[in-house]
Chain A
Amino acid sequence: MRTPHASTLKAALNGTDAVDDNALLDDLQRAAFEYFLEQYNPQNGLIADTSKEGAPVSIAVVGLALSSYPIAVEQGWISREDALARSLAALRFFQQSDQNGKPDSTGYKGFYFHFLDQQSGKRVWQCELSMIDTTMLIAGVLTAATYFEEDNADECELRKISDALYRRIDWRWAQDGADTINQGWKPESGFLNYGWEGYSEAIVLYALALASPTHPIAPDCYRAWTLTYQWENLYNFDFLYAGPLFVHQFSHAWFDMRGIRDHFMREKNSDYFENSRRAVSIQREYCRINPLGHTGFDEYCWGLSAGDGPNDDQPQIEGERRRLFGYAARGVPYGPDDGTLSPPAVLGCLPFQSDTVMRSIRTQLERYPEIRSEGRLTSGFNPGFGMDRPWVSPGHFGLDQGIIVMMIANQRSDFIWRLTRACSYMIDGLRGAGFRGGWLDGAKAGLLR
């Protein structure tokens, strides 16, 4: 990869320095949103997983796009009609998609395959029918339905399809007779045999699975999942352990977790929002200690999460101990850690520790201006792995851009949170999982259902 000239870097740096936090967030959020416009197929509303040529669609990225359109409308970046048209295109596609579960279909039992061809909408890469990615899609669908609440034909149709898509999902089937929900299924081999223990981004999955009026999971399923949690005192923080940052973000992109508690958090006298705050502190402490001695790590240069990174195909120095993981879920303190950081994962923590996050993202941009291209943050960079500048992930990833758009909106105006606090399925789901307190006690459903 060609490395930018020092003066170019300086110019980019000055550009970042010159703007205040609000303007910087504006720029990053808008650039992130424009990913969805650039990677959009108007025929079916589907969005590519990455900006890489020929990349397939990730259904989760579609869910993030559906959640982001209302933000763009409010910001004045696109019209309400445009947002509605984009949303409807996607919803109509999923409604009419082939649900027979055959290897080249789009979905089964109301769930969808993780990756789809952007033109045909059919499964690619022999990928799995994904419960968590379907959840992120359907969370976006429900968010859109809560936003488009007007009484005109298109918005009525959107709400109708949204409800049908949600009701079609057979969450109970995904339990496969077990105590918790299975992660995936393949037409070739059935349910996947992956352990899915411990705290993860699945609160939104369990909540939506509990609230289904048609195929809910067993009521004790959520509790069974929380029995696999690990509550640890690490670096003097008491915290519900999960290594990668994205785990501490994705449910929060939709749910306002401030002050609401389930049985587990009541017992520990904490809540999931506070837990994500601590996750930030733990990440910073790990990167300050920097046990593996990676270049660049410090208390402002952190962010181990799922994202792109260099792989072992890169030339290696003789005797070098490092192993490189490519696209992987990196985490602290047990790794994997190959020195790669994810700037979008840092920015995605904005609602949890806004001052720290702003200073951190500025520090990273200042030191490594090349982590921003086309105005957007790259999926990952490795400061110690490049010739004289860091290795930087080429292009952009939809999940990263979506979380940036949503979390900035949540930080600034609780935007997505205000929408979902009026979504009856989401309210019912959280209550079904045993959440009480805070805004949830007085929550009333909006128009949906």
Chain B
Amino acid sequence: MRTTHQDASRLDVPYDIFERQRIQNLKPPSWVNPTPVDRYNLVIIGAGPAGLVAARGAAALGASVALIERDLIGGDCLNVGCVPSKALIRTARVYADMRTADHYGAKRPEDVDVDFERAMTHMRQLRARISRTDSIADLAHAGVDVFLGTARFMSRDTIKVDSTTLRFRKAMIATGSRPDTAKIPGMEEAGYLTNENVFNLTSLPPSLLVIGGGPLGCELAQAFSRFGSKTTIAQDQPLFLPKEERDAAQLLSDAFARDGIEVRLNTKAVRVRLEDGKKVVDLVSDDYHSSVAVDQILTGVGRIPNVDGLHLAAAGIDGDATTGIKVDDFLLTSNRNVYAAGDVCLEHKFTHTAEATARIVVRNALFPGRQRVSDLVIPWCTYTDPEIAHVGLYVREANRLNIPIRTFTVPMHEVDRAILDDEQTGFVKIHVAQKSDRILGATIVASHAGEMINGITLAMVAGIGLGKVASVIHAYPTQAEAIRRAANAYQRTRLTPFLHGLMRRWLRR
């Protein structure tokens, strides 16, 4: 392990072959913006997941489409979000598996020597590969006019990209969001990492403090700890992932402790100072004051919608940097010709939500569609180990809305495949309406919860009740069998004493 580490303020990603490929795909230096048509059917600001889906979808339907991007095509997800983080998480999981190889009946290597640079290079290679799908050339080929530059509204139906004016019938704002950094005295001077520069690291920080226990903070804390950073995570709440079910968050805290992460719940970072090249962070938990000295701080305690410089007022669009663009249930802004999609207007800031809302906008903006955001069934997942996935209602929401529910719980230790994989931590909980089998929501904590939640989402969208799920044959042995087991538990509750009596009498004929 290196004894030196990078200064956060001077983090430049190594310009290797993979980076050259990525830049060539997403922001080629030789790119010349096209000559705009007289009036576009749809102008999209922001080429992240929402912008890309809307641009491709609208162009495929024959609409004239302009897509504006001020930075890299692909947005946060591809460049500094889901894609690079999942690549690193996979590598980190390999190291964790090596250290615990004996739990799987394998021989534990004598010395697990982490090569962080190799992990980062691998990540860049995979990111470059995925960037091919979103390349500017592909978009142009699909009939999308891509404009690289900064957009701002000039009037209710015109947008300027640098010096070029684009006229539109409809527009969609999909400018995304950026990390909200904690306003902690001294942190600016000491320097810190966010998701925007953490993937540029070329050497592993020997020690790391993660401030904030949201999804990205949790994922990266675990990954860096598994790479060998002495990691502390401070969360200003009693549990991690405060939106998730208590048991899910509790299991995650336990998993962190097992991984050797120092967990500091109910703890606020109040001051940062530099001492002997280390960042010393003062922490307060009620009346307990302590300090932790680390090489790097990673923070990101929320997301701020990107609305600066858009000149929203010029187009009569309501919105600000705190709440984002204001939209109705059809994703329409206060300008009847302008829609928004993705992080810039949504509470649930996920790639798949951004894409789903972009599809709604294409339908509602270009055709007489009246599709509502509130009709969407949105799953999400935090890719820690174990993963934590959710869809639909939470129990506390149902209680608050006075919707009586029943929960069918299957601990993963009841599932053969989870036992065989030594992945017994976690559970499947499926919530159904008290007097029917209608699935209202589910939470899964499991090694592959993100894969498993899709089956439940499918059932919810297709209106398949938990009773019917019991009759769906699940391949054995799979971890998703936990879902069928929950359905079986539901079926058993339908066997009332009366029915049971009838069946016995029938069998005794």
Contact = CB atoms under 8 A, between A and B. Distances in A.
Interface in A277-333: 289, 291-292, 319, 321, 323, 333
Interface stretch (B125-133, B340-348, B398-406): B398-406
A165 to B, nearest CB: 27
A228 B399 contact: yes
A100 interface: no
A195 B246 CA distance: 10
B414 interface: yes
Interface stretch (A21-29, A233-241, A365-373): A233-241
Interface string B403-435: 011111101011000000000100101000010
Interface in A190-241: 192-195, 197-198, 226-234, 236, 238
A227 B399 contact: yes
B406 A319 contact: no
**How many of chain A's residues touch chain B, expressed as a range?**
20 to 34
A198 B246 contact: yes
Contacts of A333: 411, 413, 427
B413 A289 contact: yes
A230 B395 CA distance: 7
Nearest to B418: A291
A233 B407 CA distance: 6
B65 interface: no
Could you tell me the dominant secondary structure of chain A's interface residues?
loop
User: Interface range on chain B: under 10, 10 to 19, 20 to 34, or 35 or more?
Assistant: 35 or more
A189 interface: yes
Contacts of A323: 257-258
Interface string B133-163: 0000000000000000000000000000000
Contact of A319 (B108, B407, B429): B108
Nearest to B396: A228
Most buried by B among A195, A230, A335: A230
B440 to A, nearest CB: 13
Interface in A108-125: none
B409 A232 contact: yes
Contacts of A267: 404, 434
B424 A291 contact: yes
B117 interface: no
Interface string B245-260: 1110011001001100
A31 to B, nearest CB: 35
B427 A193 contact: no
A335 B490 CA distance: 24
A126 B411 CA distance: 39
Contacts of A229: 395, 399
Given A193-B286, A291-B411, A233 B258 contact: no
Interface in B312-354: none
A291 B254 contact: no
B246 A233 contact: no
B42 to A, nearest CB: 44
A289 B287 CA distance: 42
Contacts of B492: 236
A227 B103 CA distance: 40
B100 interface: yes
B254 A336 contact: yes
Given A321-B103, A323-B258, A291 B413 contact: yes
Contacts of B429: 232
Given A232-B409, A291-B413, A189 B247 contact: no
Given A227-B399, A232-B429, A334-B251, A195 B238 contact: yes
A326 to B, nearest CB: 13
Contacts of A334: 247, 250-251, 411, 427
User: Which of B251, B405, B414 has the most chain A CB atoms closer than 10 A to its own CB?
Assistant: B414
Contact of A195 (B102, B239, B251, B405): B239
A194 B408 contact: no
B406 A231 contact: yes
A20 interface: no
Interface of B: 100, 102-103, 108, 237-239, 245-247, 250-251, 254, 257-258, 266, 286-287, 395-396, 399-400, 404-409, 411, 413-414, 424, 427, 429, 434, 489-490, 492-493
26 contacts: A189-B286, A192-B286, A193-B238, A193-B266, A195-B239, A195-B246, A227-B399, A227-B400, A229-B395, A230-B245, A230-B395, A231-B407, A232-B409, A232-B429, A233-B406, A233-B489, A233-B490, A234-B411, A236-B489, A236-B492, A319-B108, A321-B103, A333-B411, A333-B427, A334-B411, A335-B250
- Cβ-closest 7 pairs across A and B: A291-B413, A188-B287, A195-B238, A227-B399, A189-B287, A189-B286, A232-B407
Given A232-B408, A289-B413, 9 more contacts: A188-B287, A228-B396, A230-B245, A231-B406, A233-B408, A319-B108, A334-B251, A334-B427, A335-B254
